[in-house]
Amino acid sequence: MKIRDKFNKYADSYDNSRKQLIPGYSDFYGTIIKIIPFSSFSSISVLDLGAGTGLLSELIFQKFSNAQISLVDLSEEMLNISKKRLEKYENATYQILDYSKKLPNEKYDLIVSSLSIHHLDDNEKIELFSKIKKALCQNGIFINADQVLGENKEIEKIYQDNWLMEVKANNVTETALAEAIDRMKEDKMAPLSIQLKWLRNKGFSQVNCWYKNYRFAVYSGINKN
């Protein structure tokens, strides 16, 4: 099953268990909003890569009400849910797009992604980071909130064991856990240290990890050129 088909399949149930499946849910998403370096009144242009059900875009709109947000995703069903979630926001646009192949032909102050880029292989990630830098305005920022691979097999096992322990403690249902594990078959995670290195190699400035809870990390880089 292609990744698009898998996310179309689980679109309706995707949000129901998000808080149970992401240890540190509030801090994970809250960090993204905290590190956006613009005034809350700014009319910033935003690109949300792998926007899914629109959760992150909604959080951005709640603080940056004048933002213009373009949501892109492979899954039509996911974007349909986004449209319902964000129907009160006039400054949202939607596009079915494989962002690993191309990005919209625009410039953005902010490019964000949450729990999506880890589905790309290493070469696709590197190429995407290059495309993102070109798509950012000067002093624009890229923020990625994602799952990362352990730096070695022992650490990766700790990540996996901790995740299972925490989601079960959060009372995730067996159905939701099974769906999550099925989606994880599409994961192609890379270690955090390597991803930060890739950003620096592509010319990003002020590359930094702002939050990390085992495999869940939030990091960013700025286009100074």
Contact at 8 Å (CB) between 60 and 46? Answer: yes
Token readout for 164 is: 């299972």
**6 φ/ψ angles, rounded to the nearest 5 degrees:** -65, -40
Q: What is the CATH number for 184? A: 3.40.50.150
Question: pLDDT digits over 182-193, tens only?
Answer: 888 889 999 999
Query: How large is the average pLDDT for residues 135-148?
Result: 98
Asked whether residue 141 carries a pLDDT value surpassing 50, the answer given is yes
Residue 119, domain extent: 3-223
Residue 167, SS3? helix
- For the chain, what is the domain count? 1
Give dist(CA 80, CA 6) in Å, integer: 15
Question: pLDDT digits over 170-185, tens only?
Answer: 888 888 888 888 888 8
pLDDT level of residue 210 (50, 70, 90 thresholds): very high
Asked whether residue 216 carries a pLDDT value surpassing 70, the answer given is yes
pTM over 0.85: yes
Query: How large is the average pLDDT for residues 77-81?
Result: 93
pLDDT of residue 185: 86
Give dist(CA 24, CA 19) in Å, integer: 8
Q: What is the mean pLDDT of the chain?
A: 93
